[in-house]
Amino acid sequence: MTTNTYLDHATAALTQLRQQVPLVHCITNNVVTNFTANALLALGATPAMTDIPGEAGLFAQMASCLLVNLGTPTPVQAEAALEAAQAARAAGTPWVLDPVAVGVLPIRTALARQLLELRPDIIRGNPSEILALAGQGQGGRGVDATHSVAQAEQAAMALAQQYGSVVAVSGAVDFLTDGQRQVRLANGTPLLTRVTGGGCALGAVLAAFAALHEDRLASSVAAVLVYTVAAQMAAAQADRPGSFAVQFLDALASVQASHLRQWADIRVA
């Protein structure tokens, strides 16, 4: 696919998302639940935070897509995450793994290894998390990356090839791959790193777009592009974290195909 093809897919996917209103099942950390739900609602999707064992698997089969975020993996939530991922895999529901702080902390690292065997459709993380998940690093400093995106690109390719996933590495220039194709997106703003949930909500948006099309890489590019262009639109109106967070939700609600065509910086390898 060319740059223009990815851009055309993204503009079509944004319209499709708002028409179809995918139901996004989020098993996510308790720090970002509200922000994630609001981001999905603003964009045009429907969030559901169902993380109770005995219900999580049932809901994963009903939902359009699933996000598993390991930010605060309590024993109950870990059980629900495994149950939901197993059910999603059996039902053909696309699902996203966000391995927050993997490598640094042992419980979530072991859980991430179990979830990997269930072959997530998409893996999203910062460079240090992706390196650790691929067995090529020890993680970052908590949730903060200590590696560059460029350092994690080969690890992302290896993960994608081994598990059949699309891997999205977040950074100043995002890197996405399905193990064969490579795409870089240079949109966004550093203010996303100054708001709680700026990265985690992207995992939910990736899930929402994955529900729309079988080409997971193209859908992931669409998700990241829409999210980061909206962030740039917000940053043009607000230069501090608090006001940016409000403007960002408004931008997610108002971003249109014309904005994507004006702002997009897509680089196809």
The pair phi, psi for residue 101, each rounded to 5°, is 60, 25
Q: What is the DSSP letter of 105?
A: B
What's the average model confidence in pLDDT over 190-216?
A: 95
Q: 139-167, pLDDT tens digit by residue?
A: 545 555 566 899 999 999 999 999 999 99
User: Does the annotation place 157 within a ligand binding site?
Assistant: no
Long-range contacts of 14-17 (CB under 8 A, 24+ apart): 14/222, 14/226, 14/255, 14/256, 14/257, 14/260, 15/257, 16/212, 17/43, 17/44, 17/45, 17/208, 17/209, 17/212
pLDDT category of residue 138 using cuts at 50, 70 and 90: low
User: Does the annotation place 124 within a ligand binding site?
Assistant: yes
Could you give the CA distance from residue 147 to residue 54 in angstroms, rounded to a whole number? 38
pTM beyond 0.85, yes or no: yes
Report the pLDDT value the prediction gives residue 64, as an integer from 0 to 100: 98
Q: 76-120, pLDDT tens digit by residue?
A: 999 999 999 999 999 999 999 999 989 888 999 999 999 999 999
Architecture of domain 3-268: 3-Layer(aba) Sandwich (3.40)
Q: Is 182 helix (H, G, I), strand (E, B) or coil?
A: strand
Q: 33-68, pLDDT tens digit by residue?
A: 999 999 999 999 999 999 999 999 999 999 999 999
The pair phi, psi for residue 86, each rounded to 5°, is -65, -45
User: Does the annotation place 233 within a ligand binding site?
Assistant: no
Domains in the chain: boundaries: 3-268
Residue 213: burial class (beta carbons within 10 Å; 0-12, 13-18, 19+): middle
